[in-house]
Chain A
Amino acid sequence: MLSVENPILIARGIKRGFSLPDGETFFALKGVDIAVPRGKLTILKGKSGSGKTTLMNILGALDLPTEGTVEFDGKEITALDDEQRTQLRRYEIGFVFQSVALIPTMTAYENVEYALRLGNFQGDRRARANECLERVGLTARGSHMPAQMSGGEQQRVAIARAIAHRPKLIFADEPTGELDTNTAISVVKMFKELCADQEITFVMTTHDTGFMEIGDAVYELEGGEVISER
């Protein structure tokens, strides 16, 4: 584990087993230790099947590890109940998923604004939603339904939605997976900028080796274990 000053997230000894049909247990994570620096971009790198998405789900309080603990801002989130973890996700964490995960019955603007509603945002929701859309360069497409936008545009709406209620931590699972290189680079750059402007911590997974330089911290996973860290 990297020694990080004032980390926002610390995971220790994370194991995650899945029962197989033959009664055996398969461990997707075999004891991972990780520290995420505050207000920085952390990259979890690995081929598909390396366990990076499983790890991210556990770090983001979407899933529980079979063994090990996760501390978020000094709180042990692996000890929280479902309701408390839900609250945590609602107010302090944002997600940008690998698949485009917008709510299909809401426009781009509504998707962003909905995060504000959920996050109980105090202030002008309309202004904040527009500000976020502007931040990702989609002011003009606010009234479009997700199905009417391209993959890249949808991804950007998802980012706008993730940052809207000013969470402390945003997880992005392969955010560049379906994007062309230029768009991908601009998305990752945007993450960096957001780290700086809005004091948000980003954790993203990728199998693309191109972004390694940009990451403030990089963990490489293989077969459910961290094989290198920087």
Chain B
Amino acid sequence: MRGAVDLLQFVLQKIRNKKWLILSLLVGNLLMVAICAAGPMYTKAALQRTLTRTMSDYVQQEGRYPSSVSIDASSKGGVELLESDEQLVGTLAEKLGVEPLEVVAHRYIDKIDFFPELSRGSGETAKTARIGFLRNLADNIEVVSGSLYGEEPNDEGVVDAVISESCMIELGVMQGEILKTKGLEAPDGSELRVRISGIFRPKEGDSPFWYRTPASYGSTLFISEEAFASGISQESREKKIQANWCWIFDYRKITVDNCRAFVRDSAELSELFEGEKNHSYRDYFTRLIESYQVQAAQVKGTLWILQVPIYVLLAAFIFMVSRQMLDLEAAEIAVMKSRGASQKQILGIYCLQSGLLSGASLILGVPLSFLVCKIIGSANAFLEFVSRSSLELEITGEVVLYALAAAVASMAAMVLPVLRYSRTTIVAVKQGKAKKRSAPLWQKIFLDVILIAVGFYGFFSFQGQKEHIAERVQSGTGLDPLVYLSSSLFIIGWGLLALRVIPLIAKLVYKLGRRWWPPSLYASYLWVLRSKGGGFIVTFLIITIALGIFNASTARTVNSNEISRVAYQDGGADLVLMEQWGSNSLQVESDDTGSTSLLYFEPDFEKYKSIPGVTSLTRVLYDTKVSVSLDSASGRGSTVTLMGIHTKEFGETASLKKGLLPEHFYDYLNAIAQKSDGVLVSSLFRDKYDYNLGDTLIYRSENGDSARGVIYGFVDYWPTYLKEKTARNTDGTPRKEENLLIVANLSYLQAQWGVRPYQVWLSMEDGDTSPVYDFVEEQKLVLTEFRDQTADLVTVKNDPGIQGTNGILTVGFVVALALCTVGFLIYWILTIKNRSLQFGIFRAMGMSMKEIVVMLLNEQFYVSGLAIAMGVGVGLLTSRLFVPLIQLAYVKSEMPLPLEVLQAGSDVLRLLVVVLLVMAACMVILGTIIRKLKIAQALKLGED
């Protein structure tokens, strides 16, 4: 026990003595734990959000709870079966482990003919309706007229019923009216009579009880459950009863963890009903969960892969710092040994020390991971944040496991090197200093060259399979992790190679100027050449900077391509909308002579001009059902997409990214403006069907009206135009189909074909589309099409894959910066401290402060300067090679534009500014240390 306390005191003393080093180790460990824990935490929260959003979207679109299970049964098998079904429903909650919000039990007898008891005149026909009950109906309605039903039939055997407002209209009955049934008997054998006691409407329309609207129950006379049992004869009931149980629970209860169990349990339940004729079972969530799972797998894969380099970086950092510390402590360890400490005791000391560090990191790191998740979750683009609905973050077993693994791994990185040192004695340390260091193993086996070669191999082989990769991504397999791995290996390879190259450069320069070097530079060259220069810091700097740049350009590229895609697909207009057009189609149909032609009633176009904030607008006829005869000889035809435009307005409203077309966008518009029947066509007409400029095309509308066009230009890109359409094969795999385009003058088309429904494209001041929403609401416009570029962009940015990518790459970049700073400071401060004896000698020999600073600057140039330069170079090269491959992971099935790799110059600059600031700070600190260095003291310090 005493021994343990002593040990602890010893270690605490040691920590106090090396507080800066320990502090940086702590920073590394802390980041490692926090980021490792944030990975699963964020992924889970993001996926949960996606899952919940999938569910809530379904509620909005379908008006139905996806988190529901329903069983339909009919009583052909006897009433007993219904009773057992009821029990089964009872076990559902148990099975799925979630309390239902509502279990809606409904039984009814269908197709009952009713007659009013008091005939209202001749020609009275039977009305067909249902009679049944909804359990707990009374609690969920508001009776708007009359009163609720009584529980039992009254003295005359009349059963009370309530009906919905829509049922009242449908059946044409009144409150208080008594209806006679036909074919449905009361227990005494007489025909059942029903009185409409009241009209109801739902108490709360959005309560789960009304998962089906009252109207969807059709003409149902709702009576009480008791009356349903006692008021109708047994025989009548057995024949025809149908039952439906809908079991609804809160969709937020479906979580990332239990969704699999939901699907499985539901499948098991449905098996029970298999082969049953009179029963059917269905759930509404399996399909949604399954489609979510495909997306989740993709997102998970991408996010995980993106995190790997950060882990590598952190591990390298911890390893570097602990090595540095051990180098400093080698003699200390040896002394401990010579004083009789066993290897076990020494290991014990280091285990305790790193255990304390890892423990502290664990305690502080897990809370810190919440912050990291928040940062990731609020990333809107690279290094850009917005406030979003907060993620539901929680510490799960997985999170703790990751954090623990990180802590253990970093402990290992700190303790393992001690093994080597703890075996050596003081004699060996001194001898070790004497031994000429031979090249490390990795250099002998040319690991650096191998890694770079592997990177290149990965690049070339993936480059060759680009199409294949893109297909795999679109079918949901996700990007091959090897793509990312080869880029990381490529960077590491260069980082290691630098350890060979930089001394070579130094040697070359040294040799060239050998005769002229002043004493300071001479000494510094010998140091760079003989002390292995910076060693690991060089590799570390290169890897960090290169990864930072690579991260930045990956994020920038992914974002910018997504933004360009959305802008292109929305035609560059802020809004595209189409109103519902009236037509005389009914008349045309009923006219057997065929003499009536189809006419559309054009809604007022001018009204859009009055919307505040509209900067320009235009009409665009967009028709995908136009056909063209491509070869007059064979008469072969093909469908084309036709766009009818007003050239001037179109040019003002739509836009096209520069560089997509060889000439300016406007030049093409001007070309067809010259002649009313001038057209622009997609390049396929030229490349595949041998059309030339000036050729004439004949194309026809769906109803056979023809038009002609003289070709004034060929285009590969046009606002909204996709060169290829993706069609699905029968097995669901995507298939590309060529897509032809004709752009014609709208006025010409209208003259030829009459006015046909067109889209309205709008461009808004500052892209603010809200006035249009207000306008549509105010004018009660019925729109058949509506695309908002801003909203589309928001959707893209909220995509969990894109969002997580931005977040993780941002965090990676920031971590790289932080590690760069800390690593750099530690390295230089330690080096100076280690070399204080040497500086003492130089100073004693009469070297001035200025000369020492020159010496250090020269060393900085070779160690840090060249490493930074190489890091930037390697980062740019790696981005150029691998970003196009990584980008494939984000390509939607329809990426109409050529991919562009963005070299984010501003990010490189940002990185460099930070690094240079750190370097400058370092030099100031070093300068202070050296200035304060007492020569006599330094010489004393050097004594062993």
A interface residues (Cβ-Cβ under 8 A, vs B): 54, 57, 60, 62-63, 82-83, 86-91, 93, 95, 97-99, 101-106, 110, 114-115, 117-119, 145, 147-148
Q: Contact partner of B841 among A82, A87, A101, CB < 8 A?
A: A101
Comparing B522-530, B759-767, B891-899, the segment that makes contact with chain A is B522-530
Between-chain CB contacts (< 8 Å), 28 pairs = A57-B936, A62-B935, A83-B848, A86-B843, A86-B847, A88-B846, A90-B845, A90-B846, A90-B847, A95-B844, A99-B939, A101-B841, A101-B844, A103-B526, A103-B838, A103-B841, A103-B842, A104-B838, A105-B523, A105-B530, A114-B522, A114-B523, A117-B522, A118-B519, A118-B845, A118-B846, A147-B434, A148-B434
For residue B511, give the distance in angstroms from its CB to the closest CB of chain A. 15
- CB <8 Å contact, B844 and A99: no
* A contact residues around B433 at 8 Å (CB): 147
Interface contacts beyond A63-B936, A101-B840, A101-B844: sample of 6 additional A-B pairs, CB < 8 Å, sorted by A: A63-B934, A63-B935, A89-B844, A91-B846, A105-B526, A114-B845
Q: Is residue B21 within 8 Å, beta carbon to beta carbon, of the partner chain?
A: no
- CB <8 Å contact, B943 and A98: yes
How far does the alpha carbon of A26 sit from the alpha carbon of B288 in the complex, in Å?
Answer: 83
For residue A20, give the distance in angstroms from its CB to the closest CB of chain B. 16
For residue B295, give the distance in angstroms from its CB to the closest CB of chain A. 59
* B contact residues around A105 at 8 Å (CB): 523, 526-527, 529-531
Q: Is residue B192 within 8 Å, beta carbon to beta carbon, of the partner chain?
A: no
- CB <8 Å contact, B846 and A114: no
Also in contact, A114 and B838, with CB within 8 A (given A57-B936, A99-B944) = no
* B contact residues around A106 at 8 Å (CB): 523, 526
Q: Is residue B820 within 8 Å, beta carbon to beta carbon, of the partner chain?
A: no
* B contact residues around A103 at 8 Å (CB): 523, 526, 838, 841-842
Also in contact, A99 and B942, with CB within 8 A (given A89-B844, A89-B845, A115-B845) = yes
For residue B940, give the distance in angstroms from its CB to the closest CB of chain A. 8
Interface string of B435-457 (1 = CB under 8 A from A): 11000000000000000000000
How far does the alpha carbon of A71 sit from the alpha carbon of B833 in the complex, in Å?
Answer: 34
For residue A204, give the distance in angstroms from its CB to the closest CB of chain B. 16
For residue B913, give the distance in angstroms from its CB to the closest CB of chain A. 33
- CB <8 Å contact, A118 and B847: yes
Residue of B nearest to A106 (CB): B526
A-facing residues in B791-850 (Cβ within 8 Å): 837-838, 840-849
* A contact residues around B527 at 8 Å (CB): 105
Q: Contact partner of B845 among A83, A95, A147, CB < 8 A?
A: A95
A-facing residues in B828-881 (Cβ within 8 Å): 837-838, 840-849
* B contact residues around A93 at 8 Å (CB): 846
Interface string of B510-540 (1 = CB under 8 A from A): 0000000001001100110111000000000
Also in contact, A97 and B838, with CB within 8 A (given A86-B843, A105-B530) = no
B interface residues (Cβ-Cβ under 8 A, vs A): 433-436, 519, 522-523, 526-527, 529-531, 837-838, 840-849, 934-936, 939, 942-944
- CB <8 Å contact, B436 and A145: yes
- CB <8 Å contact, B519 and A117: yes
For residue A168, give the distance in angstroms from its CB to the closest CB of chain B. 13
Also in contact, A62 and B936, with CB within 8 A (given A99-B944, A145-B436, A148-B434) = yes
* B contact residues around A147 at 8 Å (CB): 433-435
- CB <8 Å contact, A101 and B934: no
How far does the alpha carbon of A87 sit from the alpha carbon of B845 in the complex, in Å?
Answer: 9
Residue of B nearest to A116 (CB): B519
Residue of B nearest to A99 (CB): B943
Q: Contact partner of A101 among B436, B523, B531, B837, CB < 8 A?
A: B837
A-B pairs, top 3 by smallest CB distance, nearest first, are A90-B846, A89-B846, A147-B434
- CB <8 Å contact, B519 and A114: yes
For residue B842, give the distance in angstroms from its CB to the closest CB of chain A. 8
How far does the alpha carbon of A119 sit from the alpha carbon of B935 in the complex, in Å?
Answer: 19
How far does the alpha carbon of A90 sit from the alpha carbon of B842 in the complex, in Å?
Answer: 10
For residue B526, give the distance in angstroms from its CB to the closest CB of chain A. 5
For residue A144, give the distance in angstroms from its CB to the closest CB of chain B. 10
How far does the alpha carbon of A189 sit from the alpha carbon of B522 in the complex, in Å?
Answer: 34
- CB <8 Å contact, B531 and A86: no
How far does the alpha carbon of A186 sit from the alpha carbon of B845 in the complex, in Å?
Answer: 25
How far does the alpha carbon of A83 sit from the alpha carbon of B942 in the complex, in Å?
Answer: 24
How far does the alpha carbon of A95 sit from the alpha carbon of B526 in the complex, in Å?
Answer: 22
How far does the alpha carbon of A224 sit from the alpha carbon of B728 in the complex, in Å?
Answer: 98
Residue of B nearest to A87 (CB): B846
For residue B935, give the distance in angstroms from its CB to the closest CB of chain A. 5
* A contact residues around B526 at 8 Å (CB): 103, 105-106, 110
Q: Contact partner of A97 among B519, B849, B939, CB < 8 A?
A: B939
For residue A29, give the distance in angstroms from its CB to the closest CB of chain B. 13
How far does the alpha carbon of A103 sit from the alpha carbon of B942 in the complex, in Å?
Answer: 12
* B contact residues around A115 at 8 Å (CB): 845
* A contact residues around B843 at 8 Å (CB): 86
* A contact residues around B934 at 8 Å (CB): 63
Residue of A nearest to B944 (CB): A99
Also in contact, A86 and B846, with CB within 8 A (given A103-B838, A105-B526) = yes
How far does the alpha carbon of A89 sit from the alpha carbon of B851 in the complex, in Å?
Answer: 14
* B contact residues around A95 at 8 Å (CB): 844-845
How far does the alpha carbon of A87 sit from the alpha carbon of B934 in the complex, in Å?
Answer: 17
How far does the alpha carbon of A87 sit from the alpha carbon of B848 in the complex, in Å?
Answer: 8
How far does the alpha carbon of A54 sit from the alpha carbon of B848 in the complex, in Å?
Answer: 22
Residue of B nearest to A60 (CB): B844
Residue of B nearest to A149 (CB): B434
- CB <8 Å contact, B434 and A62: no
B433, B848, B939, most chain A CB atoms within 10 A: B939
* A contact residues around B436 at 8 Å (CB): 145, 148
How far does the alpha carbon of A104 sit from the alpha carbon of B531 in the complex, in Å?
Answer: 9
Residue of B nearest to A104 (CB): B838
* B contact residues around A54 at 8 Å (CB): 936
How far does the alpha carbon of A6 sit from the alpha carbon of B214 in the complex, in Å?
Answer: 124
- CB <8 Å contact, A101 and B939: yes
How far does the alpha carbon of A104 sit from the alpha carbon of B526 in the complex, in Å?
Answer: 10
Residue of B nearest to A167 (CB): B846
How far does the alpha carbon of A109 sit from the alpha carbon of B746 in the complex, in Å?
Answer: 91
For residue A46, give the distance in angstroms from its CB to the closest CB of chain B. 17
Residue of B nearest to A86 (CB): B848
Residue of A nearest to B434 (CB): A147
How far does the alpha carbon of A93 sit from the alpha carbon of B942 in the complex, in Å?
Answer: 21
* B contact residues around A86 at 8 Å (CB): 843, 846-849
For residue B569, give the distance in angstroms from its CB to the closest CB of chain A. 63
* A contact residues around B935 at 8 Å (CB): 57, 62-63
Residue of A nearest to B850 (CB): A83
How far does the alpha carbon of A147 sit from the alpha carbon of B429 in the complex, in Å?
Answer: 11
* B contact residues around A62 at 8 Å (CB): 844, 935-936, 939
B433, B843, B844, B936, most chain A CB atoms within 10 A: B844
* A contact residues around B844 at 8 Å (CB): 60, 62, 89, 95, 97, 101
* A contact residues around B531 at 8 Å (CB): 104-105
* B contact residues around A82 at 8 Å (CB): 849
For residue A95, give the distance in angstroms from its CB to the closest CB of chain B. 5
For residue A156, give the distance in angstroms from its CB to the closest CB of chain B. 16
Residue of A nearest to B935 (CB): A62
How far does the alpha carbon of A199 sit from the alpha carbon of B879 in the complex, in Å?
Answer: 68
How far does the alpha carbon of A114 sit from the alpha carbon of B847 in the complex, in Å?
Answer: 11
A54, A87, A101, A102, most chain B CB atoms within 10 A: A101
- CB <8 Å contact, B942 and A101: yes
How far does the alpha carbon of A104 sit from the alpha carbon of B842 in the complex, in Å?
Answer: 12
For residue B395, give the distance in angstroms from its CB to the closest CB of chain A. 47
For residue A23, give the distance in angstroms from its CB to the closest CB of chain B. 20
How far does the alpha carbon of A105 sit from the alpha carbon of B842 in the complex, in Å?
Answer: 13
How far does the alpha carbon of A104 sit from the alpha carbon of B529 in the complex, in Å?
Answer: 12
How far does the alpha carbon of A106 sit from the alpha carbon of B530 in the complex, in Å?
Answer: 8
How far does the alpha carbon of A148 sit from the alpha carbon of B519 in the complex, in Å?
Answer: 24
* A contact residues around B840 at 8 Å (CB): 101
How far does the alpha carbon of A60 sit from the alpha carbon of B845 in the complex, in Å?
Answer: 11
Residue of A nearest to B842 (CB): A103
* B contact residues around A88 at 8 Å (CB): 846
How far does the alpha carbon of A89 sit from the alpha carbon of B519 in the complex, in Å?
Answer: 15
How far does the alpha carbon of A87 sit from the alpha carbon of B522 in the complex, in Å?
Answer: 19
